[in-house]
């Protein structure tokens, strides 16, 4: 367990270094090690409002304009990751932090892929709600970038709808719906609906 934690933290620190400073990425302030050199913690800037998933669950939806700005924050962060040859692998509102003014920053890159260094995702990847609506065999045919793009659409959905995709269904129903190709229902009038569908 300690070895896996040290490896995850070391990997994540390398990803943060590759990403470099960006206003949509949580700032990494360093890697802490124990007396024998095992990584034990990452020092990150503090997010005063917590993670976006919790923020959505605990607060009434802000204006459409504010939600669109938040969705744009997420997309900007993912665009930066990809420009730095990083594919997140665990894109989710759980791994998006809320700062003053409802600015968003991405975090938790322990499972991210970094071209020529970590070519595959780590062990923690997209949650069920962020998987493409298709069979597992079809999903396995998708490349990392295609999976990431679908997950981005799911995050935009969650921000704009102000609830998780498939929020009204249990995991078994969600699994059945996904394997049957049924995407989460987008509200009529959702100004990001076309973007979500294209992801």
Residue 194: give its domain's CATH number. 1.10.510.10
User: What are the Cα distances from residue 140, in Å, to 4, 52, 134, 144, 164?
Assistant: 25, 28, 10, 10, 24
Mean pLDDT, to the nearest integer, of 143-164? 93
Under the banding of pLDDT at 50, 70 and 90, the label for residue 162 is very high
Cα 40 from Cα 31, distance rounded (Å): 8
Max mean pLDDT range (35-39, 64-68, 126-130, 170-174) = 64-68
How many domains are there within the chain? 1
Under the banding of pLDDT at 50, 70 and 90, the label for residue 3 is low
The predicted pLDDT at position 42 comes to 94
β partners of residue 179: none
Dump pLDDT digits (tens) for 180-195: 888 888 888 888 888 8
Cα 22 from Cα 45, distance rounded (Å): 13
The predicted pLDDT at position 175 comes to 86
Under the banding of pLDDT at 50, 70 and 90, the label for residue 28 is very high
Dump pLDDT digits (tens) for 40-63: 999 999 999 999 999 999 999 999
Mean pLDDT, to the nearest integer, of 73-98? 96
The predicted pLDDT at position 107 comes to 95
Dump pLDDT digits (tens) for 101-141: 999 999 999 889 999 898 888 777 778 788 888 888 888 88
The predicted pLDDT at position 95 comes to 96
Domain that holds residue 88: 2-198
Question: What's the sign of the alpha-carbon dihedral 21, 25, 26, 30?
Answer: negative
Which ranges constitute the DSSP H helices of 45-103?
A: 52-58, 64-83
């Amino acid at each position: 367990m300690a070895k896996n934690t040290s490896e995850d933290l070391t990997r994540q620190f390398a990803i943060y270094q590759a990403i470099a400073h960006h206003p949509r990425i949580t700032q990494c302030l360093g890697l802490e090690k124990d007396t024998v050199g095992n990584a034990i913690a990452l020092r990150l800037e503090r997010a005063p409002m917590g993670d976006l998933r919790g923020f959505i669950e605990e607060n009434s939806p802000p204006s459409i304009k504010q939600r669109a700005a938040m969705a744009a924050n997420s997309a900007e962060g993912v665009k930066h990751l990809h420009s730095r040859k990083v594919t997140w692998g665990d894109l989710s509102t759980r791994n998006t932090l809320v700062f003053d003014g409802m600015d968003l920053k991405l975090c938790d890159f322990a499972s991210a892929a970094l071209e020529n260094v970590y070519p595959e995702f780590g062990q923690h990847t997209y949650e069920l709600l962020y998987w493409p609506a298709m069979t597992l065999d079809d999903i396995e045919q998708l490349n990392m970038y295609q999976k990431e793009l679908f997950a981005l659409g799911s995050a935009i959905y969650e921000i704009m709808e102000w609830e998780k995709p498939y929020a009204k269904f249990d995991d078994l129903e969600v699994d059945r719906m996904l394997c049957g190709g049924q995407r989460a229902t987008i509200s009529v009038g959702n100004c990001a609906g076309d973007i979500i569908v294209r992801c």
